[in-house]
Amino acid sequence: MEIQKLENKKILVTGGAGFIGSNLCDKLIELKNQVVCLDNFATGKRENLTQLMDNGNFTLIEGDIRDIEDCKKAAEGVDYVLHQAALGSVPRSIKDPITSNNTNVNGFLNMLVASRDAGIKRFVYAASSSTYGDSESLPKIEDKIGRPLSPYAITKYVNELYADVFSKTYGIETIGLRYFNVFGRRQDPNGAYAAVIPKFVKLLMKGESPTINGDGTYSRDFTYIDNVIQANLLCLIVTDQKALNTVYNVAYGERNTLNDLMEYLKEYLSEFDASIKNVSANYGPNRQGDIPHSLASIDKAKELLHYNPRFSLQSGLKEAIKWYWENL
């Protein structure tokens, strides 16, 4: 399918000031679409949108998905929704399950209702690999999940249930994308809930030792941002009815341990500063709610969406590190 054909559409990106959302906004504008961004800047950043603010095809609505009126205002006249707004992080949800639930469940339902009422045809949303919970089977296949291991995982599974009910009851087309450990440009290295890759990059650039949770043998299917953008755009142009009203894994389909990750980061960063090669990791306790191993089957997305991820962990890291070196 030809992504370049996606043009002259009006597309709402919720959480459009965030890491994934702002990258989606950039690409959609590049493809000559009108983009509406809804964000409350709880975790999104204004500087992620600086390059778009003077573009006549871009509209920023500062609002909150927990407010139905904000959702309705943002959804007005829109063709498609890319719903990225959420409070991420397993540890955050364990510390404060109520706020995570209010944002990720109530906010999600508000956006579904606003989309239904606005007559929006297709609603594509960020689901999560955390939905696999305690399932030990590898690779992870979409129709085999376990029990959730955190409040965050519960909220993302509830999203899938609501989307399914709305597609069956109201006829709105929905597609959920279960993201696996997304990383890349603009991912925030700061704060208590920063993702592992930007956090490690920032520490290594300062010559400081990152702390790996556990012994470093936990593994993840790390997924570069451009693979995620590709999957979202494919969801907007797919016409096969079999591809709709379902969920897909969005990943590269390969797993690497945290120890592997550390070695890659040191190797690629040492091209900018040779002393980084000598920095070693510290090891701490395993993190509550973490699953030991994560690996996605991407067969379903390849077959029905024609998803073809271009960036492995290694090639994605090289791109991301270049960006962090220039921007941190």
Please report the pLDDT score of residue 1 as a whole number. 58
Please spell the DSSP secondary structure of 149-204, one letter per residue: -SHHHHHHHHHHHHHHHHHHHH--EEEEEEE-SEE-TT----STT--HHHHHHHHH
Averaged pLDDT for residues 32-37: 98
CA angle, 230 then 104 then 306, to 5°? 20
Q: How confident is the model at residue 112 (pLDDT cuts 50, 70, 90)?
A: very high
Query: What is the pTM (predicted TM-score) of this model?
Result: 0.96
Q: How far apart are CA 144 and CA 199, in angstroms?
A: 32
Query: Residue 66: is its pLDDT beyond 90?
Result: yes
Q: How confident is the model at residue 2 (pLDDT cuts 50, 70, 90)?
A: low
Averaged pLDDT for residues 45-61: 98
Averaged pLDDT for residues 185-199: 92
Averaged pLDDT for residues 65-89: 97
Q: Can 152 be counted among the known catalytic residues? A: yes
pLDDT in tens, 127-137: 999 999 999 99
Query: Residue 289: is its pLDDT beyond 90?
Result: no
Q: How confident is the model at residue 309 (pLDDT cuts 50, 70, 90)?
A: very high
Query: Residue 308: is its pLDDT beyond 70?
Result: yes
How far does the chain reach from its first CA to its final CA, in angstroms?
36
N residues, the chain? 328
Please report the pLDDT score of residue 3 as a whole number. 66
- Among 80, 152, 252, 264, the active-site one is 152
Q: How far apart are CA 30 and CA 62, in angstroms?
A: 22
Please report the pLDDT score of residue 4 as a whole number. 64
Contact 125, 155 (CB under 8 A): no
Q: How far apart are CA 301 and CA 307, in angstroms?
A: 5
Contact 152, 100 (CB under 8 A): yes
What is the chain's mean pLDDT, rounded?
A: 96
pLDDT in tens, 260-271: 999 999 999 999
Query: Residue 312: is its pLDDT beyond 70?
Result: yes
Q: How far apart are CA 80 and CA 123, in angstroms?
A: 6
Q: Work out the percent of the chain whose per-residue pLDDT is above 90.
A: 94
Domain ranges of the chain: 8-182+223-253+290-312
Higher pLDDT pick, 311 / 3? 311
Averaged pLDDT for residues 223-243: 97
Q: How far apart are CA 227 and CA 229, in angstroms?
A: 6
Residue 107: closest CA among 36, 192, 39, 10: 39
Contact 244, 173 (CB under 8 A): yes
Domain 8-182+223-253+290-312 CATH superfamily? NAD(P)-binding Rossmann-like Domain (3.40.50.720)
Please report the pLDDT score of residue 192 as a whole number. 83
Query: Residue 28: is its pLDDT beyond 90?
Result: yes
